[in-house]
Amino acid sequence: MTTHAESIAMDVDSDHSSTSAKSDTSQVSFTNDYDTLPSSGPTSHAHIIDLGEYADIVKEDGTVKLQDAIVTTLFCISPDTLKSFLSPTVNNFKAIFGKKDIQLVVWRKGYEVFVGTYEHHTSLKIYRFEHVAGFLIGFDGSWHLKVTAGGACSNPKWPEIWAGKFDSYPGVSTMTVETEETEMAKRASALAESMLATKFWEYKTDVKTT
Q: Where are the domains of the chain?
A: 20-209
**What global pTM score does this model have?**
0.87
Whether 114 and 170 have beta carbons less than 8 Å apart is answered as: no
Half-sphere exposure of 78 (CA within 13 A, CB side): 6
Q: Tens digits of per-residue pLDDT, 71-81?
A: 999 999 999 99
Q: Tens digits of per-residue pLDDT, 124-149?
A: 999 999 999 999 999 999 999 999 99
Edge-first strand listing for the sheet containing 48-49: 20-22, 29-31, 48-49
